[in-house]
Amino acid sequence: MGGKVTCTLGEVKNRADFIVYWGGNPAECHPRHFTKYALIPKGKFVPRGRKDRTMVLVDIRETKSARASDIFLQIKPGKDFEVLTILRALVKNQPVDRTQVSDTGLTMDQLQDMVDRMKRAKFGVFFFGMGLSMTRGKHMNSAAVLTLAAELNAYTKFVAMPMRGHGNVTGADVVMRWQTGYPFGINFSRGYPRFNPGEFSTIDLLVRGDADAALILGADPGATMPQPCIDHLARIPTIVLDPKVTHTSRLAKVHITTAATGISAPGTAYRMDEVPLPLRPALQTSYPTDEQIIRRIYDAVASKPDWMIHSGKMTSAQI
């Protein structure tokens, strides 16, 4: 397992005749996704738009998105990995244990119907949300859906895409990758990038109390992270750059109000399919941009004596 078989959203718009949302509620969380990219638009090879597409929703509860679906598959909580693995087996005509099927909350008929439809599709797509990627099994669930999509390419065209959100999180991921090789959870304490999710990722660092200062940019962990993280952020010098008052800014020692990117500051945002989009401000503001603030902080830090040996070489003792 590994990798990702995906496409840009225009491919979905123009070709996809079979669309699966898994563990996500786009009707409420990505309200333009149906209309702009996935479900409604008429496309080059799906000229009748919604009529030419079949939409399946897989989730543990009947969300508002279920109303938009042709087929709703309600599975038992925490059984995503099992359902995906059974689907992978059925795709390859492998035998499946009936009791394992009944544990998932779905019937064999439902699963076989899903497999038949997937194979019959001309162009299928999985959009998976945090209901898959952040519940029991986590990255193994993501790997399972990505592998299912990859393996379906032996029969037809199939792709998968995570339903990313929260502002420009994809942009952060893309930039960190080109500068450090890693998307997130990067530790620079040795002077070069290291990556170990679970050890260096934000929640783990905060829960362990390893961080002794925090600079928070374009995020509101005070609203979403576990309580021990929030408690630690309140204990240490936390600096927040945000256009508005947030849960995090309230517990921070310093809140610098910045211009809202895309409204009053220019920039680039990466769409969930990693297509870069220019942001042009519609309004003017007297607030500085995030970039201006970070540059000033950087220059102030850079003017201090370097803590490393100037040649850039470190001794083994330092490393």
Partner 1 sequence: MRITGGKVYDPAHGVNGVVKDIFIKDGRVIDSPVEGRTIDARGMIIFPGGVDVHTHVAGGAINFARAMTPEDHRRTTAFIRSQTTRAGIGGMAPTTFATGYLYAGMGWTTVNEAAVAPLSAKHTHEELRDVPIVDKSCCVLLANNEILLDLLQDGECEQAQHLVAWYVWAAKAYGVKAVNPGGVAAWKWGKDTGQMTEPVVGYSKLTPAKIVSGLAQIIDELRLPHPMHLHCNNLGAPGNLATTLETMRSLEGHRAHMAHLQYHAYGGDDWNSMRSEAPALAEYFNTHPNFTADAGAVLFGDTVTITADGPWQHLLYKLTGRKWGNIDVENETGCGIVPYTYRPNNLVNAVQWAVGLELLLLIDDPWRIYLTTDHPNGACFWRYPEIIKLLMCSDFRKECLSQLSTKALKRIHLAEIDREYTLYEIATIMSAGPARALGLPQKGQLGTGADADLVIYNEDDDVQQMFGHPRYVIKGGEIVIDEGEIRATPPGRGLLVKPSYDETIETFLRPKFEDYYTLSFDNYPVEMERVEQPIFNNCIESP
For residue 249, with 0-12 CB atoms within 10 Å meaning exposed, 13-18 middle and 19 or more buried, which class applies? buried
**Cross-strand pairs, 57:** 21, 72
Q: Which of residues 223 and 314 has its CB atom nearest to partner 1 in the complex?
A: 314
- 82: alpha, beta or left? (left if phi > 0; alpha if psi -120 to 50): alpha
Q: Which stretch binds partner 1 (CB under 8 A): 11-19, 64-72, 229-237, 256-264?
A: 11-19
Residue 270, interface with partner 1 (CB under 8 A)? yes
To partner 1, the closest distance from the beta carbon of 313 in angstroms equals 8
According to DSSP H, which parts of 92-226 are helical? 98-103, 108-120, 130-133, 139-152, 169-180, 202-208, 221-224
Q: Is 14 exposed, middle or buried (0-12, 13-18, 19+ CB in 10 A)?
A: middle
User: Is residue 183 a contact residue for partner 1 (CB under 8 A)?
Assistant: yes
Which of 81-92 are b and which e, b meaning 16 or more Cβ less than 10 Å from the residue's Cβ? bbbbbbbbbbbe
Q: Which range binds partner 1 by CB under 8 A, 73-81, 109-117, 187-195, 286-294?
A: 187-195
- 180 binding partner 1? (CB under 8 A): yes
Determine, following the binding rule CB under 8 A, whether residue 47 of this chain makes contact with partner 1.
Answer: no
Q: Is 263 in the site for partner 1 (CB under 8 A)?
A: no
Q: What phi and psi values does residue 34 have, to the nearest 5 degrees?
A: -60, -45
In the complex with partner 1, which residue's Cβ is closer, 228 or 276? 276
Residue range at the interface with partner 1 (CB under 8 A); choices 67-75, 134-142, 193-201, 244-252 = 193-201
- Amino acid residing at 153: N
Minimum CB distance to partner 1, residue 261 (Å):
16
Residue 140: count other Cβ atoms within 10 Å of its Cβ: 14
Interaction of residue 122 with partner 1, rule CB under 8 A? yes
Residue 229: φ, ψ to 5°: -65, -45
Smaller CB distance to partner 1: residue 7 or 236?
Answer: 7
Residues that bind partner 1 (CB under 8 A): 1-11, 13-15, 36-37, 44, 122-123, 150, 153-154, 156-157, 159, 174-175, 177-183, 188, 190-195, 268, 270, 274-278, 306, 308, 310-314
